Amino acid sequence: MDKIWLSSPHMGGNEINYVNEAFQTNWIAPLGPNVNGFEEDISNFIKVESTETQINISTAALTSGTAALHLALVMLGTNENDVVIVQSFTFCGTTNPVEYQKAKIAFVDSELDTWNMDPNCVREAISDLLNMGYGIEGKVESKLGLGYIRAIMPVHLYGMPAKMNELIAISTEFGIPIVEDAAEALGSRYNNQACGSFGLMAALSFNGNKIITTSGGGALVSSQSEFIEKARFLSTQARDNAPHYQHSQIGYNYRMSNIVAGIGRGQMEVLKQRVEQRRLNNLRYKEYFQNIEGVSLQTEPDSNYYSNFWLTSILIDPIKTGGISRETVRLAMEKQNIECRPLWKPMHMQPVYDRANFYGSGVCEKLFENGLCLPSGSNLSEDEFKRIFDVLDSIFK
Ligand SMILES: *Cc1c(COP(=O)(O)O)cnc(C)c1O
């Protein structure tokens, strides 16, 4: 029995042509026509999808989404005296860049509508951090040798847009920038605006299991082109303008290769299709679970939300199902060589973040306990769906 993956790469067909072209023209480097073309494709996509506002987007193609978030924090001047407010319910790619800068993390809880950053908990965190003596650059002096609250980092989990209206209101009120983790949300929208266009800067990921992939890769996007120019500079070892190698600051080797960007150009041609396919998967699961007591799905709260449904995720309440838990389903699937995965384990519960501050009541802990991601690839076949629903039938019917 072949393995059914949670989310596997799905090529459109044209990727290989862009890669071949790179070979034929000898653009085998972290620069070239594919890198430029891929960046343009991403910028245009986010612009076209954002019908509500007139925005111009610039993009820097990088080696990973984690690298994109790291550069965003570097450009904001994040250092060891600072603190960053981060959604706890996420993948370590969101939080690790804060650690690279040696800043503290204030973890915040999720709310139940979207499973993302709870705006009330963000307010609570800000007021506590200000009381502790943290400042806000250009607004509030810091005290007691502490630094600034550098950024607020929301995530659009599994493609579901976070409550950006409320979060932007907080960001504006206090003057703290938003660094948006849109790694899972390319193709998602909120209020007719594309995810990736809300933050001062935003990160995308093209890792192997994301909605589109370049095998590994990421991008930083922003409506402020200075940040993107700076990101290109920093991601190529911060070379000053001189005939020799001259450096007046520390750079990084984070630029995307022209080969990999060729895969990205092909993938951008099918991105809209991929979103539609994943939304159809979600609909199929939704219909299946409609009449099953104790199982609910991560759902768009209202018509202002448009999720790419990168992964379809369910909550199983073992009390209402009569003892069937997320582990019952996960293990039964595993037996049939079908991959399912618990939701992200909140970062404040991770051994490496043992003593971190957490603001909230533990909503994300409960989601983790009862939540499961189901196979959601855009290339799932009818046979594979049959195998998946057979397992579910054996449990629920
Ligand atoms: C995938 C992912 C990242 C990091 O992306 P990489 O390209 O794998 O470095 C960051 N945040 C979230 C929420 C992700 O899912």
For residue 198, give both structure tokens.
């809300």
Contact by Cβ (8 Å): 237, 248: no
State both tokens at 310.
Answer: 């990168």
pLDDT higher than threshold 80 for residue 356: no
Instruction: Compute the distance from residue 254 Cα to the ligand 1 centre, in Å.
Output: 15
CA gap 121, 13 in Å, rounded: 45
Closest residue to atom 5 of ligand 1, CA basis: 65
- Ligand 1 neighbour 65 (Cβ under 6 A): yes
- Average pLDDT for 120-147: 97
Question: In the predicted model, is pLDDT for residue 354 greater than 80?
Answer: no
Q: pLDDT tens digit string along 313-340? A: 999 999 999 999 999 999 999 999 999 9
> Is the minimum distance from the CB of 7 to ligand 1 under 6 angstroms?
no
* H helix intervals, the chain: 15-24, 33-49, 65-75, 92-100, 119-132, 164-174, 225-234, 258-268, 271-289, 326-335, 363-370, 382-396
92 CA to middle of ligand 1, Å?
A: 8
How remote is the CA of residue 183 from the centroid of ligand 1, in Å?
A: 5
Ligand 1: which atom is nearest the Cα of residue 67? 9
Separation of alpha carbons 338 and 375, rounded Å = 8
What is the reported pTM? 0.97
In the chain, the domains with their CATH numbers are 15-270 (3.40.640.10), 272-396 (3.90.1150.10)
Q: What is the pLDDT of residues 164-193, one digit of tens each?
A: 999 999 999 999 999 999 999 999 999 999
Note the pLDDT of residue 51: 86
* pLDDT computed for residue 316 by the predictor: 98
Tell me what pLDDT residue 289 has: 97
Contact 56, 216 (CB under 8 A): no
Structure tokens given for 199:
């933050």
**Could you identify the atom of ligand 1 that is nearest to the CA of residue 181?**
11
pLDDT, one tens digit per residue, over 66-87 is 999 999 999 999 999 999 999 9
Percent of the chain with pLDDT over 70: 100
